[in-house]
Amino acid sequence: MKLAAIAITKEGARLAGEIAEYLDSSLEVYLPQKLANELKGREGVTFYSGSLRGLIKEIFNSYEGLIFIMALGIVVRMVAELLEDKRYDPAVVTINETNDFVISTLSGHLGGANELTQHLAGLLGAQPVITTATDSQGKLAIDMLAKELDCLIEPFANLKLINGALVNGETINIYSEYELELEAEDDFNLYPVSSLAEATAPAVIISNQSFSLPSNLADQAYLCLRPRNLVIGIGCRKGISKERIAEAVELALERVGADLEQVKCLATVDLKAQEVGLVTYAQEQDLELKIISREEIKNTDLEYSTSEFVKKAIGVGGVCEPVALLSGEQMELLLKKTKVQGVTVAVAQEKSL
């Protein structure tokens, strides 16, 4: 987690230095120019001129988490105009200068502020202050479940309604195509996704399958968690363009009723590890490109489509299907080898979350 600490007093600067030591110097510290003699000579310390508001506006979206060492009221005034969406805003934690309290201030669940608060409080021997309703009641919030399982939340606007039902003592009905282990069992009923037709509200559906919402669910009484567990296996001609790769990926996802946000990684064979169009596409989409060796493909006992032509050319009978199946645990093929203008694609789903 990329973190920054901001302090405005000598005592705050001292505490920021202490936190940096605990975090093995992986913390960037910002201090006003008037404190230039504090933490002098230490790496990762920036002395800023100008206003605190101007600094926060400049760095707000550059970090995954911001640690403010000052009064909570100041923090609220500084960040209020910068807030956009709880899915994307950074975690904000406030620590009072006397190190009594570490307060989860913003993006407690999805941003990780609650976890960061607990971690910092443990390091500093301070009292963690977490006020989100589900945490206060010791319940597992659905957005935290989505984070743990690496799922997209759809429609996001319904999240507060489902969490609200949980806080108000209602039991959430979860319909999942995956096996789940939930500690807060009293708060949930678990059903296979195959029983979705009989779903009752409030309902959470965990699936990458395309489905029609049952008519007995109210418009705002459900959520769908879409796991980011798809792997796209890719084979391609030499010199293929990133545009051709993009077209093939888009077609493959359309065929399985998914979108790019549900893709965990791309995969290809070692022979294509330096293919510029493929590598560039993966980088631009911020997706890992897993490289599977031909030796690994030769030694697998997985079933996949084969071609004698491909086998003579590169030594293995297939690329896109086996590399997708070998890129995770308990993989299931959703889309078999599909040819798209010099590219072959296959889509596999990881069945374990």
Q: What is the pTM of this model?
A: 0.68
CATH 3.40.50.11220 location in the chain = 3-131
Which CA distances in Å does 60 have to 79, 81, 108, 233? 8, 11, 16, 37
Report how far residue 349's alpha carbon sits from residue 325's, in angstroms, rounded to the nearest whole number: 8
Report how far residue 11's alpha carbon sits from residue 38's, in angstroms, rounded to the nearest whole number: 10
3-131: which CATH topology?
A: Rossmann fold (3.40.50)
State which H helix or E strand residue 33 sits in.
none
Q: What is the CATH number of domain 142-227?
A: 3.40.1390
Residues 6+ apart with CB under 8 A from 245: 234, 236, 277, 278, 281, 343
Report how far residue 162's alpha carbon sits from residue 186's, in angstroms, rounded to the nearest whole number: 16
| CB neighbour class for 253 (10 Å; exposed up to 12, middle 13-18, buried from 19) | buried
Q: What are the residues facing 67 on neighbouring strands?
A: 5, 93
- Chunk the chain into consecutive blocks of 10 residues (it has 353) and report each block's average pLDDT, rounded to whole numbers: 93 92 85 87 87 94 94 93 87 92 87 89 91 67 85 88 85 86 71 86 86 76 90 95 96 92 95 95 96 93 87 89 93 94 94 78
CATH 3.40.1390 location in the chain = 142-227
pLDDT tens digits along 132-160: 766 656 667 888 888 888 899 888 888 88
Which amino acid is residue 129, in one-letter code?
V
Which amino acid is residue 97, in one-letter code?
E
- How much is the pLDDT for 135? 63
Q: What is the CATH number of domain 230-350?
A: 3.30.420.180
Report how far residue 81's alpha carbon sits from residue 219's, in angstroms, rounded to the nearest whole number: 32
CATH 3.30.420.180 location in the chain = 230-350
